[in-house]
Structure 1
């Protein structure tokens, strides 16, 4: 044994010197008796050397393992323990029993033992830091307390937790991979990996099952044969955009031919993988999105056809139908209108009322409103009321499908298919639509045909309304034109009139004109407009026109226009014929020298337009218009006068000629005067001038009528132009 160092106040045994002295006195003989041969010559251990050790150290002495030393690291790991007590009484945690057992074994056979697998404290000891991990060893030693065991523990909490975290992350990744593989197997999804040189590997299979063709390990032109011809260029361009420069996310939706031969929409998404700033591969997935795409398309098409409710007439409605399905559902679409139900035509004829085609196809033939005899294929569709799909070689439409004009266009567009769908309204086929696949495109699939039929089915109600409106409009127009009789021949004057329905709306029935030659040579001119644009307005117009004719004929006083309108106002109010009427009523009396004296009364109507033979156009405002009819029947009305010279032109018109969208009435009146002046300069006849006024004022919202009067000296050779002397 070496010489024992003198006692020092360092270490934790200083606070228990009495215990140590007692231990020395009582255990000196015991040391001599129990020291084995292996202990002979072993220097006594000085436990204080472990005071500042970073590992936990505890020392026990004697067969009952009384704890005689612990260092700060031990207290930090396991909490403080009572010195001088037996280990079995100090280490009372359930898991400490095997530690006490190891103390017995090491003390008995004087053989060191160690535990390399982490042990864990329960963290319940007073002053303990909580649940910690450690490994430990027990070695036989001899100290000044006699034979005993030195226990050394190393805190492995951080290492164990790091390992556990790594294991947890690995498990999470493994589970995520399992979930991903399960998800991939549950959906139509192809996962692939592609190298920059074009080598491609299928990670999650499904390509052959989807397309019916084996997987190809290299991207080449053969890949594109399965892609819809119309999508190939866009697919290649999208990939090139993603791969150029700094690689970016690739996303593209396109049609891929399935094993059934029909095309289905798929979406491919791929992200570049870089290592050290170098692109090493692309990881991507291709999913079947046909159902989602078709549902979105259906919603979009139904939203489009909803606009048909705002269509003003049948051509507008059918044009909206054609525009709704192009280009999402077909390359081109035309609608052919059949004769009205009850009209017996043999052979059956049809008129192309609407057509549209996607960009990149030849221009469609213009709409002509000319009927043509439908062929046997169209007859079959009309009679069966069932759609029919025709598939034919590119640019070779069959005979008997459409008119020769349409077939010529289909050849130029390299059409490959034609779908004819009847449009049934109120149990009658009123039209049929023809949808064409062009530019060598494959024929439509079953789902495309079903959606096309569904869309055309959805528009039946708004189309029915448009058809009914057209029929009402046609009836009103027929009635109106029957009442707008030809103007009489007037000696010494030109007299002409014209009427035209609105150019862009279905409004008709309120405007009228009239001219009457009285027995004394007086000419009455009337132009009027009744509120409303329907069959009721046309009927009211016919009643007013007839009553005013009777009143004017019964009261031939040249100065009677005001009285005529006053009498008409009282009658209309009493019989409740119309809600509101504007009208100009004029008497024109011939005067010596070829002049005419005009007297007129204006009930809320635009003023007459005068084109003097020797000056610029101007409006005959007078003192301003009186109130319209049906407003104040008892109100007195005013008669205005003017002298017309040879070559002067007097024009009465309705507001449809001056109410132009985007302009106010002042601009409309100026435009009308300018058009009339140009017509006069061109030396047009009065009938030609009236026709010009109706055609040159474009985009009219309302129907319009005009009636004109021009004194002409007997034997006049031509119509004087502005600045010419009046011919006598």
Structure 2
């Protein structure tokens, strides 16, 4: 707002001595009758050093210099003395204050002085004059300090009594509607309670000054930040009223906010996962610019035209709102307006009535949350990295807050575009991880189809690393018609672990396939251990290797197995509790001591029973004993035992919400024998 120029003539008849100077040399440009009565005639247009030459006047000139230098009003309450202007022998006493002011001649200083001669000569007269003139001085000082701002009078209960026209110019609210508590209607809904509480606290504790920053609705419908400052006028030990000023500080506030948010966004550190990078980025705009921010990663960066598939990977909300739905990495197809924001690379603001989120804009789980939070708007902001739109951020104002203005939207977009380096690195790591997982999956062949039994396998890469791992499963038919089935885990989560896994898997396949019928799983693991040591392939690994053969006419099978330090297989019967295939003395892992003997164990697997091989990523939780995770697996497998085998595997691997380690699983289930199979010897 333009600064209001002070019109000094309003002080012509004031009982307080008023003088006005301008410029760096403090040229005297005005004084009123009260000033002339107190100090005598003074020449106008002359610098203060030449106007005030009496002893002690240099301190007054120094006060003018100080006020002009830092813009801070000063009071001199110690009595000053000067000779009587008419030449009489009686001296005059006074106190004065100096305040910055904007004049038609430019920046200047308004000086106010009160004659305290009578107060010093008569105690009784001093009390009376102090009450009258002190009140006048405080009001004039408040007016002087606020000459370029809105000035108002508020009663002790916080209701407005007097407002200058500047209030209507800023807010568009006519003066009569603002009187009383009506002025609170233009305060931002999220600031009203706090403003009222601060006033109540000030009235109770009576500070020397009150200051608060809040938002008011401007005449154009947006909201602007203002700073309110007030001082109490005390009567009978309590505040009778408050005199204050209101200044529009929107530009100053927004510049400081922009600098702070951009610095915070630029400080987002490197992250291995896009989830972490985008979550840190969302935190920079919540709650300063919006109530909630969710980020959706596009499956194909810079997708334009046709369907655009996205996945929610991060979300942040301010305190006080409902708990956010969990990040479950579910995908959805963007609606029309979201696709337009992506294709045009331009933010889109969607306003709606309280909680009435347009259908199809966001996933239903997000839309339900916005309804509970009382959202009133949704802003869609494309995030561009290296020239491609890689993600879409959705921000919302909740609990009845109005939609963001253009300046807020622009700042949100600018902040979200700031953290290019960590986003670029996180996305590059994700692409590398995806390529590595594809490579690892290529080494995990599809289990064969066999008569009399079902086979199913699943592999799920860990989300806490970006490299391939050493987990594997395998199943293949041996020359004698039996089935070989293996689960294994090489220590490490890097390319070396994946390479060792591939070598061990290939060597085990060759050994198991070429040995005669009497060759047991223990023999196979022992020969694998010897070959790995001799060929320098050795790396700490665990494995369970088994051979399964038909056994009996009812469709049952028998499993021969040997365990090299791996979590025990689980056998889930048709009824009853699952049991673990364990031995009293477990064999050591691979590549530890090739000379140690290994043992083969045998167990029947009846029709409809399920044999589960798995790696520790399915059951291991940091800080928890492995047996607890295995017990949970047994319980979950028992509850879902009647599901189809492939569905059972999907259910068991999908139960792990936070996959910190790779998961490999292979399951075997004999099918009941039909009439023809039952007659076979």
Q: When the two structures are superposed, what TM-score results if normalisation uses the length of structure 2? A: 0.64
Distance 1:690 1:408 in 2: 31
- Whether 1:463 aligns to 2:419 is no
Distance 2:195 2:298 in 1: 42
CA-to-aligned-CA distance 1:363-401 (integer Å, 9 cap, x gap)? 9999884553664x666654554x345576868999999
Q: 1:283: how far off? A: 4.3
Corresponding residue number in structure 2 for 1:516: 476
> What does 1:442-591 align with in structure 2 at a 5 Å threshold?
442-502=402-462, 509-533=469-493, 537-538=497-498, 540-569=500-529, 572=532, 579-591=539-551
User: What secondary structure, in the 3-state scheme, does the structure 1 residue paired with 2:510 have?
Assistant: helix
CA-to-aligned-CA distance 1:48-96 (integer Å, 9 cap, x gap)? xxxxxxxxxxxxxxxxxxxxxxxxxxxxxxxxxxxxxxxxxxxxxxxxx
Q: 1:520: how far off? A: 0.8
CA-to-aligned-CA distance 1:94-145 (integer Å, 9 cap, x gap)? xxxxxxxxxxxxxxxxxxxxxxxxxxxxxxxxxxxxxxxxxxxxxxxxxxxx
1:254 maps to which of 210, 214, 221? 214
User: What secondary structure, in the 3-state scheme, does the structure 2 residue paired with 1:253 have?
Assistant: strand
CA-to-aligned-CA distance 1:214-267 (integer Å, 9 cap, x gap)? 867963354235423443344335434554x67678664321245776533234
Corresponding residue number in structure 2 for 1:621: 582
Corresponding residue number in structure 2 for 1:708: 667
Residues 142 and 244, structure 2, Cα contact 8 Å, conserved in 1: no
Corresponding residue number in structure 2 for 1:652: 613
User: What secondary structure, in the 3-state scheme, does the structure 1 residue paired with 2:97 have?
Assistant: helix
Q: Residues 640 and 294 of structure 1: is their aligned pair in 2 closer, same or farther, counting only changes over 3 Å? A: farther
> What does 1:54-203 align with in structure 2 at a 5 Å threshold?
166-167=79-80, 174=97, 192-196=152-156, 198-201=159-162
Q: 1:618: how far off? A: 3.5
Corresponding residue number in structure 1 for 2:634: 673
Distance 2:654 2:615 in 1: 14
Q: 1:435: how far off? A: 3.6
Q: Residues 167 and 482 of structure 1: is their aligned pair in 2 closer, same or farther, counting only changes over 3 Å? A: same
Q: 1:672: how far off? A: 2.0
Q: Residues 692 and 391 of structure 1: is their aligned pair in 2 closer, same or farther, counting only changes over 3 Å? A: closer
Q: 1:515: how far off? A: 0.9
> What does 1:164-563 align with in structure 2 at a 5 Å threshold?
166-167=79-80, 174=97, 192-196=152-156, 198-201=159-162, 219-220=179-180, 222-240=182-200, 242-243=202-203, 252-257=212-217, 262-270=222-230, 272-288=232-248, 290=250, 291-292=252-253, 295=256, 299=260, 303=264, 309-310=270-271, 312=273, 314-315=274-275, 317-322=277-282, 324-341=284-301, 346-347=305-306, 349-353=308-312, 369-372=330-333, 375=336, 381-382=341-342, 385=345, 387-390=346-349, 402=361, 419-437=379-397, 441-502=401-462, 509-533=469-493, 537-538=497-498, 540-563=500-523
Distance 1:421 1:531 in 2: 43
Q: 1:514: how far off? A: 0.8
Distance 2:487 2:604 in 1: 19
User: What secondary structure, in the 3-state scheme, does the structure 2 residue paired with 1:325 have?
Assistant: coil
Q: 1:191: how far off? A: 5.6
Distance 1:410 1:266 in 2: 30
Distance 2:606 2:578 in 1: 15
Distance 1:711 1:460 in 2: 54
Corresponding residue number in structure 2 for 1:603: 564
Residues 305 and 343, structure 2, Cα contact 8 Å, conserved in 1: no
Residues 258 and 411, structure 2, Cα contact 8 Å, conserved in 1: no
Distance 1:311 1:188 in 2: 53
Distance 2:94 2:580 in 1: 93
User: Which ranges of structure 1 fall in alignment gaps of 5 or more residues?
Assistant: 1-163, 718-727
Q: 1:512: how far off? A: 1.7
Distance 2:267 2:654 in 1: 32
Name which one, 1 or 2, has greater alpha-carbon Rg.
1
Distance 1:363 1:696 in 2: 20
Q: 1:353: how far off? A: 2.1
CA-to-aligned-CA distance 1:599-652 (integer Å, 9 cap, x gap)? 3333332122344678744433325444434445x4435123123253554322
Q: Residues 191 and 630 of structure 1: is their aligned pair in 2 closer, same or farther, counting only changes over 3 Å? A: farther
Q: 1:327: how far off? A: 3.8
User: Which ranges of structure 2 fall in alignment gaps of 5 or more residues?
Assistant: 1-76, 82-92, 101-109, 112-137
Q: Residues 652 and 192 of structure 1: is their aligned pair in 2 closer, same or farther, counting only changes over 3 Å? A: same
Corresponding residue number in structure 1 for 2:30: none
Distance 1:184 1:450 in 2: 38
CA-to-aligned-CA distance 1:484-528 (integer Å, 9 cap, x gap)? 333233444443333334478767643221111112122211111
Distance 2:582 2:557 in 1: 19
Q: When the two structures are superposed, what TM-score results if normalisation uses the length of structure 1? A: 0.61
Q: Residues 588 and 411 of structure 1: is their aligned pair in 2 closer, same or farther, counting only changes over 3 Å? A: closer
> What does 1:44-63 align with in structure 2 at a 5 Å threshold?
none
User: What secondary structure, in the 3-state scheme, does the structure 1 residue paired with 2:423 have?
Assistant: helix
Coordinate RMSD, CA, aligned: 5.0
Distance 1:165 1:246 in 2: 28
Distance 2:411 2:495 in 1: 38
Q: 1:659: how far off? A: 0.6
Corresponding residue number in structure 2 for 1:31: none
Q: 1:428: how far off? A: 1.8
CA-to-aligned-CA distance 1:25-69 (integer Å, 9 cap, x gap)? xxxxxxxxxxxxxxxxxxxxxxxxxxxxxxxxxxxxxxxxxxxxx
Give the stretch that moved more between structures: 665-674 or 227-236.
227-236
Corresponding residue number in structure 2 for 1:691: 650
Q: Residues 257 and 655 of structure 1: is their aligned pair in 2 closer, same or farther, counting only changes over 3 Å? A: same
Residues 79 and 95, structure 2, Cα contact 8 Å, conserved in 1: no
Paired residues in the alignment total 545
CA-to-aligned-CA distance 1:182-206 (integer Å, 9 cap, x gap)? 9975998656442337354569x97
CA-to-aligned-CA distance 1:704-726 (integer Å, 9 cap, x gap)? 12223345552499xxxxxxxxx
CA-to-aligned-CA distance 1:653-690 (integer Å, 9 cap, x gap)? 1001221245221211222223233344xx44544443
Distance 1:664 1:506 in 2: 26
Distance 1:293 1:645 in 2: 71
Residues 272 and 429, structure 2, Cα contact 8 Å, conserved in 1: no
